Amino acid sequence: MAGTGQTRHLPEAPAVVLVGPQLGENIGMVARAMLNCGLGDLRLVRPRDGWPSESAAAAAAGATAVIDGVRLFEATNEAVADLQLLFAATARPRHMTKKTTTPRRAAADMRAFAARGGRAGVLLGPESRGLSNDDVALADALITIPLNPDFQSLNLAMAVLLVGYEWYLAGADDPGPALAMPKRSRPATKDEMGGLFEHLERELDACGFLRNEEKRPVTVRNLRNIFQRAGLTDQEVRTLRGVIAGLASGRGD
Amino acid sequence: MAGTGQTRHLPEAPAVVLVGPQLGENIGMVARAMLNCGLGDLRLVRPRDGWPSESAAAAAAGATAVIDGVRLFEATNEAVADLQLLFAATARPRHMTKKTTTPRRAAADMRAFAARGGRAGVLLGPESRGLSNDDVALADALITIPLNPDFQSLNLAMAVLLVGYEWYLAGADDPGPALAMPKRSRPATKDEMGGLFEHLERELDACGFLRNEEKRPVTVRNLRNIFQRAGLTDQEVRTLRGVIAGLASGRGD
């Protein structure tokens, strides 16, 4: 996985700042989630088990560029000194006069901010207890992830993934492929569809399936609807005509 | 953590079906991600290290209700037999004529579908190699997660989290109608679809259409995809089985 492609994280992507992370493994999984989302700027404030960390590198599973670029800080305010818009990710509500937002809204804010040349970041606390109130106070707003209120515990990498995912999608030129069809074959023409229908109905007449004259128009329409709805390719029309011919040709054997 | 609060997953929430998961730890993390998102129906097809699993229970970190409710299956088609709308999560593109969608669009589809009483699910393959083409063929559409194309590797729990997160959020809005189902008839179950496929393939074997052993798997998969895509109702499955029987029954006349 190593290669230049890894560095496709953009300069305007938000920084991720982990305050007092405990397990190297979790730092590695954060790095991996970041690279999934095109984020590259990872900053650590007093990681409990020191840095560099073998377990972090192992858990990063190929997100080497993020691990190699990690910067270490002694204090949270130093780690966020160059940032201009800072969100604090918190699981539990804080009794502070501070705006609370969601990953989706924060992503839109960060994109708009970056478009004007601003630097944004997200702050996350230790696995066990989250951010201190002093660290939260550094942030412009809180991010809470709006999931099942009865089971909110998300590990660090999961929280980073959801914030990063929203950030990534917020920058997509278009919101993603619309139920796209593979292009390996062209859609059947109406003429080809008509040929399929005539073939099927001719054989169904021959075997007696359509002998009820009263029901015939409804049955024929229903069958045509099924194949119409499937959005067939020209190749699929040929396959289905082979199926009809095959099933019918057994006759008289 | 066990308690009634945990069971806030809703009956209409999609099922998560893991085919051949390798590590119990990953199954536990999937259970945790599911409960974060209010999902409760976890199904396993041939977990490599057996079931129950101590490492799964440990990694579930409190998502006991999901682990306790796990159902085991020998084959993928049995695990999805009662589902009517099935998405296959795939990292790499598949050369199949099948719709591809995103977690956000799939979530809206599943919500709209559930609102009309349908049962939906998401299929995920083993950590190492993803779903087999035969398993993918069972699905109505593929979900790919639109993240950094240069670093797409997401572990199982991460993929489940993103799909579940979108499903959870989609419940906040009114998703509106998508993948519209006819209202006069209910969507066919996977079991009914399986019956249709077996019927068709049995007759195609009998008439010699599938005699080329080398091409057989591809032809069978292509045919299944066509009918899968059509979004058949139970009534339409019966009609098509009548068509197959009718065409084949002419034999010997």
Are B154 and A36 inside 8 Å of each other by CB?
yes
In the DSSP assignment, the letter for residue B233 is B
B190-252 placed in CATH 1.10.8: yes
Which two structure tokens, joined as six digits, stand for B51?
A: 């079931």
Distance CA B103, CA A177 (A): 11
C-alpha–C-alpha distance, residues B228 and B197, integer Å: 10
The C-alpha atoms of residue A241 and residue A146 are separated, in whole angstroms, by: 51
Mutate one of B101, B148, B166 to test the A interface: name it (highest A CB count within 10 A): B148
Which residues have CB under 8 Å from A177's CB, separation 6+?
B100, B101, B102, B146
pLDDT at A169 over 50: yes
Q: Share the mean pLDDT of chain A.
A: 86
pLDDT tens by residue, B174-194: 433 334 344 557 889 999 999
Where do we find the tokens 């993928």? B76
Sign for the CA dihedral angle at B161, B163, A32, A120 comes to negative
Burial A172-182 (b: 16+ CB within 10 A, else e): eeeebeebebe
Of A9, A169, A232, Cβ closest to residue B226: A232
Distance from CA of B253 to the nearest CA of A (A): 6
CB contact under 8 A, A151 and B102: no
Q: Among residues 214-233 of chain B, which lie with CB inside 8 Å of chain A?
A: 219, 222-223, 226-227, 229-232
The strand pairing partners of B101, in sequence order, are: B143
Q: Is B102–A154 a contact, with Cβ atoms under 8 angstroms apart?
A: no
Would you call A8 an interface residue with chain B, using a CB distance cutoff of 8 Å? yes
Task: Count CB-CB contacts under 10 A for residue B92.
Answer: 8
pLDDT in the model for residue B250: 67
Whether the ipTM is more than 0.85: the answer is no
| A213-221, long-range: CB < 8 A, 24+ apart | A219/B239
CA B24 to chain centroid? 21
Contact A246 B204 (CB under 8 A): yes
% residues pLDDT > 90 (chain A): 57
Sheet with B99-101, edge to edge strand ranges:
B71-73, B42-45, B15-19, B120-124, B85-89, B141-143, B99-101
Q: How far is CA A217 from the centre of its chain?
A: 46
- Would the pLDDT of B68 be above 90? yes
Is the predicted pLDDT of residue B63 greater than 50, yes or no?
yes
Q: Where are the domains of chain A?
A: 15-170, 190-252
Q: What would the mean pLDDT of A89-112 be, rounded to a whole number?
A: 83
- Taking an 8 Å cut-off on Cβ atoms, the answer to whether B104 and A226 are in contact is no
Closest CA to B170 of B45, B39, B71: B39
Question: Is the pLDDT at B120 greater than 50, yes or no?
Answer: yes
Contact B196, B237 (CB under 8 A): yes
Contact B36 A151 (CB under 8 A): yes
Do the domains B15-170 and B190-252 sit in the same CATH topology, yes or no?
A: no
B250:A248 CB<8 A: yes
Chain A residues closer than 8 Å to B173 by CB: none
Task: For domain A15-170, give the CATH number.
Answer: 3.40.1280.10
Rounded to the nearest angstrom, the minimum Cα separation between A148 and chain B is 5
Which whole number is the average pLDDT over B57-79?
95
Number of A to B CB contacts under 8 A, please give it. Answer: 197
State the amino acid at position B167 in one-letter form: W
pLDDT tens digits, one per residue of A170-220: 986 544 433 444 445 667 887 888 899 999 999 999 999 999 999 999 899
Q: Of the candidates B100, B158, B243, which has its C-beta nearest A180's C-beta?
A: B100
